[in-house]
Homo-oligomer: A and B are copies of this chain.
Amino acid sequence: MITKEILNKLVKILGKNSVLTSDVDLVSYSYDATADMPIQKPDVVVIPDSKEQIIEIVKLADQNNIPIYTRGSGTNLCGDTIPVKGGIVLSTLKLNKIVKIDAENLTATVEPGLVIQRLNEAIEPYGLIYPPDPGTVNTATMGGSVSECSGGLRGLKYGVTKDYIMGLEIVMPNGDLIKTGGQTVKNVTGYDLTKLFTGAEGTLGIITKIIVKLIPAPEFRRGMLAVFDDIDKAGDTIADIIKNKVIPATMEIMDNVTIRTVENYSKVGLPVDAEAVLLLEVDGIKEVVLKEAEIVETICKKNGAIDFTIAKTDEEREKVWAARRAALPALAQVKPTTVLEDATVPRSEIPKMLKALKEIAKKYDLQIGTFGHAGDGNLHPTILTDASDKEEMKRVHLAVDEIFKVAISLGGTLSGEHGIGLAKAKYMEWEYGKEGVEVMRKIKKALDPNGILNPGKFV
Protein backbone atom coordinates (compact mmCIF):
# COMPACT_ATOMS: atom_id res chain seq x y z
CA MET A 1 0.00 0.00 0.00
CA ILE A 2 1.22 3.48 -0.84
CA THR A 3 1.18 5.98 2.02
CA LYS A 4 -0.38 9.42 1.91
CA GLU A 5 3.10 10.88 2.15
CA ILE A 6 4.24 9.06 -1.01
CA LEU A 7 1.08 10.15 -2.82
CA ASN A 8 1.77 13.76 -1.87
CA LYS A 9 5.30 13.44 -3.19
CA LEU A 10 3.99 12.02 -6.48
CA VAL A 11 1.56 14.94 -6.78
CA LYS A 12 4.45 17.30 -6.14
CA ILE A 13 6.46 15.69 -8.96
CA LEU A 14 3.64 15.37 -11.48
CA GLY A 15 0.87 17.78 -10.58
CA LYS A 16 -2.56 16.68 -9.39
CA ASN A 17 -4.03 15.86 -12.80
CA SER A 18 -1.36 13.32 -13.65
CA VAL A 19 -1.80 11.24 -10.49
CA LEU A 20 -4.89 9.02 -10.64
CA THR A 21 -6.33 7.29 -7.59
CA SER A 22 -10.07 7.00 -8.21
CA ASP A 23 -11.43 3.48 -8.25
CA VAL A 24 -12.64 3.83 -11.83
CA ASP A 25 -9.14 4.76 -12.95
CA LEU A 26 -7.46 2.03 -10.96
CA VAL A 27 -9.79 -0.62 -12.37
CA SER A 28 -8.89 0.51 -15.92
CA TYR A 29 -5.26 -0.32 -15.21
CA SER A 30 -5.90 -3.63 -13.44
CA TYR A 31 -5.79 -5.85 -16.55
CA ASP A 32 -4.45 -5.90 -20.09
CA ALA A 33 -5.22 -7.65 -23.38
CA THR A 34 -4.25 -11.08 -22.03
CA ALA A 35 -7.00 -13.65 -21.34
CA ASP A 36 -7.22 -15.91 -18.29
CA MET A 37 -5.10 -13.67 -16.03
CA PRO A 38 -5.63 -12.38 -12.49
CA ILE A 39 -6.94 -8.82 -12.12
CA GLN A 40 -5.11 -6.48 -9.75
CA LYS A 41 -5.61 -2.78 -9.20
CA PRO A 42 -2.53 -0.60 -8.71
CA ASP A 43 -2.43 1.85 -5.79
CA VAL A 44 -1.89 4.78 -8.10
CA VAL A 45 -1.51 5.60 -11.79
CA VAL A 46 0.95 8.29 -12.83
CA ILE A 47 1.22 9.89 -16.27
CA PRO A 48 4.56 11.73 -16.53
CA ASP A 49 5.30 14.05 -19.43
CA SER A 50 9.09 14.20 -19.17
CA LYS A 51 12.02 11.94 -18.40
CA GLU A 52 12.90 14.24 -15.50
CA GLN A 53 9.58 13.34 -13.87
CA ILE A 54 10.23 9.65 -14.53
CA ILE A 55 13.64 9.91 -12.85
CA GLU A 56 12.02 11.47 -9.77
CA ILE A 57 9.27 8.84 -9.65
CA VAL A 58 11.78 6.00 -9.98
CA LYS A 59 14.01 7.37 -7.24
CA LEU A 60 11.04 7.72 -4.91
CA ALA A 61 9.86 4.19 -5.68
CA ASP A 62 13.33 2.68 -5.31
CA GLN A 63 13.89 4.31 -1.93
CA ASN A 64 10.53 3.04 -0.70
CA ASN A 65 10.43 -0.36 -2.37
CA ILE A 66 7.33 0.47 -4.37
CA PRO A 67 6.67 -1.56 -7.54
CA ILE A 68 6.48 0.33 -10.86
CA TYR A 69 4.59 -1.17 -13.77
CA THR A 70 5.38 0.74 -16.97
CA ARG A 71 2.49 0.66 -19.42
CA GLY A 72 1.86 1.86 -22.95
CA SER A 73 -1.50 0.81 -24.38
CA GLY A 74 -1.68 -2.50 -22.52
CA THR A 75 -2.06 -4.54 -25.72
CA ASN A 76 0.51 -7.17 -24.74
CA LEU A 77 -0.53 -10.82 -24.63
CA CYS A 78 1.41 -12.21 -21.68
CA GLY A 79 -0.07 -10.26 -18.77
CA ASP A 80 3.01 -8.08 -18.65
CA THR A 81 1.31 -4.83 -17.62
CA ILE A 82 -0.85 -6.28 -14.84
CA PRO A 83 0.32 -4.70 -11.56
CA VAL A 84 0.24 -7.97 -9.65
CA LYS A 85 1.98 -6.49 -6.62
CA GLY A 86 0.09 -3.19 -6.60
CA GLY A 87 2.10 0.00 -6.39
CA ILE A 88 2.50 2.41 -9.29
CA VAL A 89 1.36 2.05 -12.89
CA LEU A 90 3.45 4.45 -14.95
CA SER A 91 1.73 5.34 -18.22
CA THR A 92 3.99 6.51 -21.05
CA LEU A 93 1.15 7.92 -23.13
CA LYS A 94 2.12 11.57 -22.69
CA LEU A 95 5.64 10.92 -23.98
CA ASN A 96 4.45 10.48 -27.53
CA LYS A 97 6.52 12.73 -29.76
CA ILE A 98 8.44 11.94 -32.91
CA VAL A 99 11.71 13.63 -32.00
CA LYS A 100 13.43 13.33 -35.38
CA ILE A 101 13.13 11.67 -38.76
CA ASP A 102 16.58 11.41 -40.33
CA ALA A 103 15.95 10.21 -43.88
CA GLU A 104 19.62 10.49 -44.80
CA ASN A 105 20.72 8.06 -42.12
CA LEU A 106 17.52 6.00 -42.37
CA THR A 107 16.66 6.46 -38.70
CA ALA A 108 13.92 8.00 -36.58
CA THR A 109 13.97 8.97 -32.92
CA VAL A 110 10.71 8.64 -31.00
CA GLU A 111 9.32 8.70 -27.49
CA PRO A 112 7.93 5.51 -25.93
CA GLY A 113 4.26 6.54 -25.80
CA LEU A 114 4.02 7.04 -29.58
CA VAL A 115 1.56 4.69 -31.26
CA ILE A 116 3.39 2.63 -33.92
CA GLN A 117 1.01 3.65 -36.70
CA ARG A 118 1.79 7.35 -36.08
CA LEU A 119 5.42 6.60 -36.92
CA ASN A 120 4.37 4.68 -40.05
CA GLU A 121 2.31 7.65 -41.22
CA ALA A 122 5.07 10.15 -40.53
CA ILE A 123 7.72 8.28 -42.51
CA GLU A 124 5.50 7.35 -45.47
CA PRO A 125 6.14 10.66 -47.30
CA TYR A 126 9.86 9.84 -47.21
CA GLY A 127 9.24 6.50 -48.93
CA LEU A 128 10.45 4.68 -45.83
CA ILE A 129 8.97 1.96 -43.65
CA TYR A 130 9.48 0.69 -40.11
CA PRO A 131 9.08 -3.05 -40.76
CA PRO A 132 7.89 -4.45 -37.38
CA ASP A 133 4.20 -4.94 -37.90
CA PRO A 134 2.35 -6.37 -34.88
CA GLY A 135 -1.38 -6.93 -35.26
CA THR A 136 -1.96 -4.09 -32.79
CA VAL A 137 -0.09 -1.50 -34.85
CA ASN A 138 -2.98 0.98 -34.54
CA THR A 139 -3.04 0.96 -30.75
CA ALA A 140 0.26 -0.39 -29.40
CA THR A 141 3.00 2.06 -28.42
CA MET A 142 6.61 2.01 -29.53
CA GLY A 143 7.78 1.64 -25.94
CA GLY A 144 5.55 -1.36 -25.35
CA SER A 145 6.57 -3.02 -28.58
CA VAL A 146 10.26 -2.49 -27.82
CA SER A 147 9.81 -3.87 -24.29
CA GLU A 148 7.97 -6.92 -25.61
CA CYS A 149 10.05 -7.18 -28.81
CA SER A 150 6.93 -7.50 -30.95
CA GLY A 151 6.94 -9.67 -34.03
CA GLY A 152 4.19 -9.53 -36.60
CA LEU A 153 3.38 -10.57 -40.14
CA ARG A 154 6.63 -9.55 -41.82
CA GLY A 155 9.06 -11.37 -39.49
CA LEU A 156 10.23 -13.93 -42.03
CA LYS A 157 11.79 -11.44 -44.44
CA TYR A 158 12.20 -8.37 -42.28
CA GLY A 159 12.84 -9.69 -38.77
CA VAL A 160 11.29 -8.46 -35.53
CA THR A 161 11.41 -5.30 -33.42
CA LYS A 162 14.89 -5.89 -32.02
CA ASP A 163 16.31 -5.90 -35.54
CA TYR A 164 15.24 -2.26 -35.89
CA ILE A 165 16.18 -0.78 -32.52
CA MET A 166 19.50 1.06 -32.83
CA GLY A 167 19.61 2.96 -29.59
CA LEU A 168 17.71 3.67 -26.38
CA GLU A 169 17.57 6.20 -23.60
CA ILE A 170 16.68 4.49 -20.34
CA VAL A 171 15.96 5.47 -16.75
CA MET A 172 17.56 2.83 -14.54
CA PRO A 173 15.95 1.67 -11.27
CA ASN A 174 18.36 3.87 -9.29
CA GLY A 175 17.35 6.94 -11.31
CA ASP A 176 20.44 6.99 -13.54
CA LEU A 177 19.76 8.02 -17.12
CA ILE A 178 21.75 6.03 -19.66
CA LYS A 179 22.03 6.02 -23.43
CA THR A 180 22.72 2.86 -25.39
CA GLY A 181 23.63 2.36 -29.05
CA GLY A 182 23.11 5.30 -31.35
CA GLN A 183 22.59 6.31 -34.94
CA THR A 184 25.33 4.20 -36.47
CA VAL A 185 24.59 0.91 -38.17
CA LYS A 186 27.71 -0.57 -36.64
CA ASN A 187 28.39 -0.22 -32.93
CA VAL A 188 30.26 -2.75 -30.82
CA THR A 189 31.19 -0.52 -27.91
CA GLY A 190 30.80 -2.68 -24.79
CA TYR A 191 27.87 -4.98 -24.07
CA ASP A 192 24.88 -4.65 -26.38
CA LEU A 193 22.61 -2.99 -23.81
CA THR A 194 20.20 -1.92 -26.57
CA LYS A 195 19.36 -5.54 -27.29
CA LEU A 196 19.31 -6.45 -23.60
CA PHE A 197 16.63 -3.86 -22.84
CA THR A 198 14.66 -4.68 -26.00
CA GLY A 199 12.37 -7.50 -24.95
CA ALA A 200 13.24 -7.13 -21.25
CA GLU A 201 9.51 -6.58 -20.60
CA GLY A 202 10.03 -3.48 -18.47
CA THR A 203 11.94 -5.40 -15.80
CA LEU A 204 15.32 -3.65 -16.14
CA GLY A 205 14.63 0.01 -16.86
CA ILE A 206 12.12 2.52 -18.22
CA ILE A 207 12.65 3.45 -21.84
CA THR A 208 12.37 7.20 -22.50
CA LYS A 209 13.65 7.44 -26.06
CA ILE A 210 14.04 5.05 -28.98
CA ILE A 211 16.18 5.30 -32.12
CA VAL A 212 14.81 3.02 -34.84
CA LYS A 213 16.20 1.90 -38.15
CA LEU A 214 14.05 2.53 -41.22
CA ILE A 215 14.27 0.93 -44.64
CA PRO A 216 13.13 1.97 -48.13
CA ALA A 217 9.52 0.95 -48.81
CA PRO A 218 9.17 -1.90 -51.31
CA GLU A 219 7.96 -0.53 -54.63
CA PHE A 220 5.70 -3.45 -55.52
CA ARG A 221 3.98 -6.36 -53.83
CA ARG A 222 1.81 -9.29 -54.73
CA GLY A 223 -0.56 -11.21 -52.47
CA MET A 224 -1.48 -14.86 -53.07
CA LEU A 225 -3.80 -17.46 -51.58
CA ALA A 226 -3.20 -21.21 -51.87
CA VAL A 227 -5.71 -23.83 -50.72
CA PHE A 228 -4.76 -27.35 -49.57
CA ASP A 229 -6.77 -30.47 -48.72
CA ASP A 230 -3.93 -31.80 -46.58
CA ILE A 231 -1.98 -29.89 -43.97
CA ASP A 232 1.26 -31.74 -44.78
CA LYS A 233 1.10 -30.46 -48.35
CA ALA A 234 0.90 -26.91 -46.99
CA GLY A 235 3.89 -27.64 -44.76
CA ASP A 236 5.91 -29.03 -47.68
CA THR A 237 5.02 -25.96 -49.72
CA ILE A 238 6.38 -23.64 -47.03
CA ALA A 239 9.67 -25.55 -46.93
CA ASP A 240 9.93 -25.69 -50.75
CA ILE A 241 9.42 -21.95 -51.16
CA ILE A 242 12.32 -21.20 -48.82
CA LYS A 243 14.45 -23.91 -50.43
CA ASN A 244 13.89 -22.17 -53.76
CA LYS A 245 15.41 -19.02 -52.25
CA VAL A 246 12.20 -17.04 -52.19
CA ILE A 247 11.75 -15.23 -48.87
CA PRO A 248 8.17 -13.87 -48.87
CA ALA A 249 7.47 -10.80 -46.75
CA THR A 250 4.55 -12.75 -45.31
CA MET A 251 3.68 -16.44 -45.32
CA GLU A 252 0.65 -17.15 -43.13
CA ILE A 253 -1.24 -20.35 -42.48
CA MET A 254 -4.80 -20.98 -41.25
CA ASP A 255 -6.10 -24.42 -40.32
CA ASN A 256 -9.58 -25.79 -40.97
CA VAL A 257 -11.04 -24.62 -37.65
CA THR A 258 -9.82 -21.10 -38.34
CA ILE A 259 -10.94 -21.13 -41.99
CA ARG A 260 -14.47 -22.21 -41.03
CA THR A 261 -14.71 -19.66 -38.27
CA VAL A 262 -13.37 -16.81 -40.39
CA GLU A 263 -15.71 -17.66 -43.25
CA ASN A 264 -18.67 -17.88 -40.92
CA TYR A 265 -17.72 -14.52 -39.43
CA SER A 266 -16.74 -12.48 -42.45
CA LYS A 267 -17.94 -14.27 -45.63
CA VAL A 268 -14.85 -13.51 -47.66
CA GLY A 269 -15.25 -16.67 -49.73
CA LEU A 270 -12.77 -19.01 -48.04
CA PRO A 271 -13.06 -22.75 -48.90
CA VAL A 272 -14.59 -24.18 -45.69
CA ASP A 273 -13.61 -27.76 -46.50
CA ALA A 274 -9.94 -26.96 -46.99
CA GLU A 275 -7.53 -28.42 -44.43
CA ALA A 276 -5.24 -25.40 -44.71
CA VAL A 277 -4.77 -22.19 -46.62
CA LEU A 278 -1.52 -20.29 -47.11
CA LEU A 279 -1.65 -16.54 -47.52
CA LEU A 280 1.52 -15.15 -49.07
CA GLU A 281 2.95 -11.84 -50.08
CA VAL A 282 6.18 -11.13 -51.93
CA ASP A 283 7.45 -7.58 -52.15
CA GLY A 284 10.35 -5.57 -53.53
CA ILE A 285 11.25 -4.41 -57.02
CA LYS A 286 8.53 -5.17 -59.57
CA GLU A 287 10.50 -7.47 -61.88
CA VAL A 288 11.65 -9.56 -58.92
CA VAL A 289 8.23 -9.69 -57.32
CA LEU A 290 6.64 -10.99 -60.52
CA LYS A 291 9.37 -13.60 -60.86
CA GLU A 292 9.02 -14.68 -57.23
CA ALA A 293 5.24 -14.84 -57.47
CA GLU A 294 5.63 -17.18 -60.42
CA ILE A 295 7.99 -19.43 -58.45
CA VAL A 296 5.54 -19.50 -55.53
CA GLU A 297 2.66 -20.44 -57.84
CA THR A 298 4.64 -23.27 -59.42
CA ILE A 299 5.64 -24.66 -56.01
CA CYS A 300 2.09 -24.45 -54.61
CA LYS A 301 0.67 -26.30 -57.61
CA LYS A 302 3.46 -28.89 -57.61
CA ASN A 303 2.66 -29.60 -53.95
CA GLY A 304 -1.00 -30.17 -54.76
CA ALA A 305 -2.71 -26.88 -53.99
CA ILE A 306 -6.35 -27.43 -54.98
CA ASP A 307 -6.79 -23.74 -55.63
CA PHE A 308 -4.42 -20.81 -56.13
CA THR A 309 -5.34 -17.13 -56.47
CA ILE A 310 -3.11 -14.17 -57.20
CA ALA A 311 -4.40 -10.81 -56.00
CA LYS A 312 -3.81 -8.64 -59.04
CA THR A 313 -5.44 -5.48 -57.74
CA ASP A 314 -5.26 -3.64 -54.44
CA GLU A 315 -8.85 -4.70 -53.71
CA GLU A 316 -8.07 -8.37 -54.29
CA ARG A 317 -4.98 -8.03 -52.11
CA GLU A 318 -7.06 -6.37 -49.42
CA LYS A 319 -9.48 -9.31 -49.52
CA VAL A 320 -6.69 -11.82 -48.89
CA TRP A 321 -5.44 -9.90 -45.87
CA ALA A 322 -8.90 -9.14 -44.55
CA ALA A 323 -9.32 -12.90 -44.18
CA ARG A 324 -6.07 -13.18 -42.23
CA ARG A 325 -6.82 -10.20 -40.04
CA ALA A 326 -10.25 -11.66 -39.29
CA ALA A 327 -8.66 -14.79 -37.81
CA LEU A 328 -8.36 -13.62 -34.21
CA PRO A 329 -11.60 -11.58 -33.99
CA ALA A 330 -13.50 -14.40 -35.69
CA LEU A 331 -12.15 -17.02 -33.30
CA ALA A 332 -12.69 -14.66 -30.37
CA GLN A 333 -16.45 -14.39 -31.00
CA VAL A 334 -17.03 -18.14 -30.87
CA LYS A 335 -16.59 -18.42 -27.11
CA PRO A 336 -16.23 -15.88 -24.26
CA THR A 337 -12.53 -16.57 -23.65
CA THR A 338 -9.75 -16.79 -26.21
CA VAL A 339 -6.47 -18.25 -24.99
CA LEU A 340 -3.98 -17.22 -27.65
CA GLU A 341 -0.48 -18.74 -27.57
CA ASP A 342 2.59 -18.14 -29.69
CA ALA A 343 4.63 -21.31 -29.38
CA THR A 344 7.22 -21.27 -32.14
CA VAL A 345 9.12 -24.08 -33.83
CA PRO A 346 11.81 -24.29 -36.51
CA ARG A 347 10.09 -23.84 -39.86
CA SER A 348 10.64 -27.45 -40.89
CA GLU A 349 8.72 -28.70 -37.85
CA ILE A 350 5.47 -26.88 -38.63
CA PRO A 351 3.66 -29.95 -40.02
CA LYS A 352 4.56 -31.92 -36.85
CA MET A 353 3.46 -29.05 -34.64
CA LEU A 354 0.14 -28.71 -36.48
CA LYS A 355 -0.49 -32.43 -36.11
CA ALA A 356 0.35 -32.29 -32.41
CA LEU A 357 -2.09 -29.41 -31.93
CA LYS A 358 -4.87 -31.45 -33.50
CA GLU A 359 -4.13 -34.35 -31.16
CA ILE A 360 -4.02 -32.07 -28.12
CA ALA A 361 -7.40 -30.59 -29.04
CA LYS A 362 -8.83 -34.10 -29.28
CA LYS A 363 -7.17 -35.37 -26.10
CA TYR A 364 -8.49 -32.53 -23.94
CA ASP A 365 -11.75 -32.17 -25.84
CA LEU A 366 -11.13 -28.52 -26.71
CA GLN A 367 -11.70 -26.30 -29.70
CA ILE A 368 -8.31 -25.11 -30.95
CA GLY A 369 -8.00 -22.96 -34.06
CA THR A 370 -4.50 -22.46 -35.35
CA PHE A 371 -3.23 -19.71 -37.57
CA GLY A 372 0.02 -17.81 -37.66
CA HIS A 373 3.27 -16.90 -39.28
CA ALA A 374 4.21 -20.17 -40.95
CA GLY A 375 7.26 -18.68 -42.61
CA ASP A 376 9.03 -18.19 -39.33
CA GLY A 377 7.48 -21.13 -37.46
CA ASN A 378 5.50 -18.81 -35.23
CA LEU A 379 2.06 -20.37 -34.79
CA HIS A 380 -0.90 -19.04 -32.85
CA PRO A 381 -2.86 -21.99 -31.47
CA THR A 382 -5.99 -20.39 -30.10
CA ILE A 383 -8.10 -22.20 -27.54
CA LEU A 384 -11.75 -21.17 -27.62
CA THR A 385 -13.14 -21.53 -24.13
CA ASP A 386 -14.97 -19.90 -21.24
CA ALA A 387 -13.06 -18.69 -18.19
CA SER A 388 -16.14 -19.24 -16.00
CA ASP A 389 -16.20 -22.96 -16.82
CA LYS A 390 -13.78 -24.17 -14.14
CA GLU A 391 -13.73 -27.76 -15.35
CA GLU A 392 -12.95 -26.82 -18.94
CA MET A 393 -10.30 -24.32 -17.82
CA LYS A 394 -8.47 -27.16 -16.06
CA ARG A 395 -8.29 -28.98 -19.39
CA VAL A 396 -7.23 -25.73 -21.09
CA HIS A 397 -4.28 -25.36 -18.70
CA LEU A 398 -3.22 -28.97 -19.26
CA ALA A 399 -3.45 -28.43 -23.02
CA VAL A 400 -1.35 -25.26 -22.83
CA ASP A 401 1.29 -27.14 -20.82
CA GLU A 402 1.38 -29.80 -23.49
CA ILE A 403 1.57 -27.28 -26.35
CA PHE A 404 4.72 -25.78 -24.85
CA LYS A 405 6.18 -29.20 -24.10
CA VAL A 406 5.79 -30.22 -27.74
CA ALA A 407 7.12 -26.91 -29.08
CA ILE A 408 10.27 -27.20 -26.99
CA SER A 409 10.76 -30.87 -27.85
CA LEU A 410 10.70 -29.87 -31.54
CA GLY A 411 13.54 -27.41 -30.94
CA GLY A 412 11.19 -24.46 -30.53
CA THR A 413 10.54 -21.74 -28.02
CA LEU A 414 7.86 -20.71 -25.50
CA SER A 415 7.36 -17.41 -27.18
CA GLY A 416 7.96 -16.21 -30.69
CA GLU A 417 6.63 -12.72 -30.20
CA HIS A 418 4.30 -12.25 -27.21
CA GLY A 419 6.84 -12.46 -24.42
CA ILE A 420 6.77 -14.40 -21.16
CA GLY A 421 5.41 -11.98 -18.55
CA LEU A 422 3.02 -13.48 -16.09
CA ALA A 423 1.38 -15.94 -18.45
CA LYS A 424 4.38 -18.14 -19.25
CA ALA A 425 6.69 -17.46 -16.31
CA LYS A 426 6.29 -20.98 -14.94
CA TYR A 427 7.58 -22.54 -18.17
CA MET A 428 10.86 -20.56 -18.32
CA GLU A 429 13.03 -23.40 -17.01
CA TRP A 430 11.65 -25.81 -19.60
CA GLU A 431 13.43 -23.79 -22.25
CA TYR A 432 16.37 -22.22 -20.43
CA GLY A 433 17.03 -24.72 -17.65
CA LYS A 434 17.65 -23.73 -14.03
CA GLU A 435 21.09 -22.41 -15.00
CA GLY A 436 19.86 -20.21 -17.83
CA VAL A 437 17.07 -18.69 -15.75
CA GLU A 438 19.61 -18.12 -12.98
CA VAL A 439 21.73 -16.01 -15.39
CA MET A 440 18.68 -13.83 -16.09
CA ARG A 441 17.93 -13.53 -12.37
CA LYS A 442 21.49 -12.41 -11.68
CA ILE A 443 21.22 -9.70 -14.33
CA LYS A 444 17.87 -8.56 -12.92
CA LYS A 445 19.21 -8.50 -9.38
CA ALA A 446 22.32 -6.58 -10.43
CA LEU A 447 20.41 -3.85 -12.25
CA ASP A 448 17.27 -3.69 -10.09
CA PRO A 449 18.42 -4.81 -6.63
CA ASN A 450 15.19 -3.75 -4.92
CA GLY A 451 13.07 -5.45 -7.55
CA ILE A 452 10.87 -2.43 -8.20
CA LEU A 453 10.41 -2.81 -11.96
CA ASN A 454 7.52 -5.05 -13.08
CA PRO A 455 7.85 -7.46 -10.13
CA GLY A 456 6.02 -10.78 -10.19
CA LYS A 457 6.82 -11.50 -13.82
CA PHE A 458 9.15 -13.95 -15.57
CA VAL A 459 12.35 -13.14 -13.75
Contacts and interface: CB of A to CB of B under 8 A. Distances in A.
Interface of A: 102-107, 127, 148-149, 151, 155-156, 159-160, 162-163, 172, 176-180, 182-193, 195-196, 198-200, 204, 215-216, 239, 242-243, 245, 247, 284-285, 287-288, 291, 344-348, 373, 376-378, 411-420, 424, 428, 431-433, 435-440, 442-443, 445-447, 458-459
A193 B436 contact: yes
Given A195-B162, A285-B288, A413-B184, A190 B428 contact: yes
Contacts of A196: 191-192, 195-196, 443
A149 B188 contact: yes
26 contacts: A103-B243, A104-B242, A105-B346, A105-B347, A107-B346, A148-B188, A149-B192, A155-B186, A163-B163, A178-B432, A180-B436, A186-B373, A186-B413, A187-B413, A188-B418, A189-B413, A190-B420, A191-B204, A196-B196, A215-B247, A287-B287, A442-B446, A442-B447, A443-B446, A443-B447, A445-B446
Contacts of A428: 189-190
Nearest to A196: B196
A435 B178 CA distance: 6
A247 B214 CA distance: 12
A104 to B, nearest CB: 4
Contact of A185 (B155, B179, B204): B155
Given A288-B288, A433-B179, A446-B442, A344 B187 contact: yes
A243 B378 CA distance: 34
Contacts of A239: 104
A192 B198 contact: yes
A196 to B, nearest CB: 5
Nearest to A150: B188
Contact of A245 (B127, B156, B243): B127
A104 B344 contact: no
Contact of A200 (B191, B347, B436, B459): B191
A352 to B, nearest CB: 13
Nearest to A151: B186
B184 A416 contact: yes
Contact of A216 (B245, B344, B376, B414): B245
A151 to B, nearest CB: 5
A156 B458 CA distance: 36
Contact of A348 (B105, B178, B245, B446): B105
Nearest to A198: B192
Nearest to A181: B413
Contacts of A378: 184-186
Given A183-B411, A189-B431, A189-B432, 19 more contacts: A103-B243, A104-B239, A104-B347, A127-B245, A149-B192, A151-B188, A163-B163, A178-B432, A178-B436, A185-B377, A186-B373, A186-B378, A188-B199, A188-B416, A189-B428, A192-B199, A196-B196, A287-B288, A445-B446
Q: Which of A151, A186, A242, A436 has the most CB of B within 10 A?
A: A186
A198 to B, nearest CB: 7
A443 to B, nearest CB: 6
Contacts of A420: 188-190
A296 to B, nearest CB: 15
